[in-house]
Amino acid sequence: MYKIVKKRPLAEQIFLMDIEAPRVAKSAQPGQFVILRVRDKGERIPLTICDYDREKGTVTIVTQCIGVSTHLICEHNEGDYILDFAGPLGQASELIHATDEELANKKILFVGGGVGAAPVYPQVKYLSNRGFKPDVIIGAKSKNYVILEEEMRAVSNNYYITTDDGSYGFKGMVTDKLKELVEKENKKYDLVVTIGPMIMMKFVSLLTKEYGIPTVASLNTLMVDGTGMCGACRVSIGGQTKFTCVDGPEFDAHLVDFDEAMRRQNMYRTIEGQKREELEKNHKCKIGR
C-alpha cells in the first residue's frame, strides 16, 4: 500500500499527488513512468513521473480525470492509500546521459501541451539543477488550465504560455509561438523536446523538421499496460515497430508515424468512453471531497 501524503488541485479535474514510495523515488529519472492500481482487480494505469524527492521518499504524479480509472484515482485524498505503485519504468530521458560540455553547447526548447506540462517539468528541473536552464513553451485551452506555472518559471530560462482563447499569455497554438520565436525573434535551438497531445506533437514535429531542428517526442499517452506484454503501445519509428513502454516513451519525433499512433490511441478511447458511461450510471463521484 502506498500512502498519499499530499494532494492539491492544479486546475479543473486535474490533481497533483505526492505518493510515499521510497524505492521508486530512489531510482526515478526524468522521462520515466510508474504503473499504479487503485484497487484489487483494478486497471493498471501508467502515469509519467512529474517529480521525485529521494530524501522524503515521495514520487509526484499529476492525474487528469478523463476516464474511469483516473476518476477513481482522483477521488482519493491525503491519508488514503494506492494499492500498487510500480516503477520507475521505461527509458529515462537521453539528456541525463549528456555531459556538461554537451549541454553547455545546446540550446534546448521544451514544448508541452495541457497535462503534458507535468512530464516536461522533471526534465526542465533536472537541467536547471545542472546549471542549464532551457526555454519552455506550454499550451493550454485557457488560463484556468495552465498548470505548474510557478514551478516551471523557477527552473526555465524563458517560459512562454499560450492559450487557445487568448485568456492568458500568447493567443494561439504552441506551434504559432514556436514560429514567432524562430522566424521573428531569430531564436536558435539545437534540440526540441515535445510532450503532450499526440496531434500537438505531430505538428510540432512537422514544423521543427522544416527548421532542421532535431526533436524528441514522448509518446506516454499511448501506453496501456506499461510492460510491453499487451502490445497496445506499438508504434512505427522509422518503419520499425517499437513499444512505447519499454523502448520509450521518448523517440525521434521525425521518425514517428503519428497518424498510426493516433489511430491506435482512438481505438482505446472508444472502449474507455463506454466504460465511463457505465461508471457515470452506477457511481456517485466524490472527487475533491
pLDDT score of 6: 95
Buried b (16+ CB within 10 A) or exposed e, 250-286: bbebbbbebeebbebbeeeeeebeeebeeeeeeeeee
Q: Is the peptide bond before 119 cis (omega within 30 degrees of 0)?
A: no
Residue 174 CB-density burial (10 A; 0-12 exposed, 13-18 middle, 19+ buried) = buried
- Of 197, 198, 181, residue with least CA distance to 189: 181
Q: What is the pLDDT of residue 284?
A: 46
| Residue 110 backbone phi and psi in degrees, to 5 | -100, 135
Q: Rounded CA gap, 87 and 288, in Å?
A: 26
Amino acid 264: pLDDT: 77
Query: Is the pTM here over 0.85, yes or no?
Result: yes
pLDDT for res 288: 47
Asked if residue 261 lies in contact with residue 220, where contact means CB atoms within 8 angstroms, the answer is: no
Ordered per-residue pLDDT tens for the chain, 289 residues: 899 999 999 998 899 999 999 999 999 999 999 988 888 776 788 888 999 999 999 999 998 887 777 888 888 899 999 999 988 998 999 999 999 999 999 999 999 998 999 999 999 999 999 999 999 999 999 999 999 999 999 999 999 999 999 999 999 999 999 999 999 999 999 999 999 999 999 999 999 999 999 999 998 776 666 566 666 777 888 988 888 777 778 999 999 998 888 887 776 554 444 444 454 455 444 444 4
Give the per-residue pLDDT at 65.
Answer: 83
Q: How many other C-beta atoms lie within 10 A of the C-beta of residue 231?
A: 11
Grid coordinates belonging to 30: 526524468
Exposed / middle / buried, residue 101 (Cβ in 10 Å: 0-12, 13-18, 19+): exposed
Q: How far is CA 54 from the centre of its chain?
A: 20
Q: In the beta sheet, which residues pair with residue 206? A: none
What pLDDT score does 234 carry? Answer: 78
Domains of the chain, first to last: 2-90 (2.40.30.10), 94-266 (3.40.50.80)
pLDDT at position 224:
64
Find out whether 33 and 94 touch, Cβ atoms under 8 Å: no
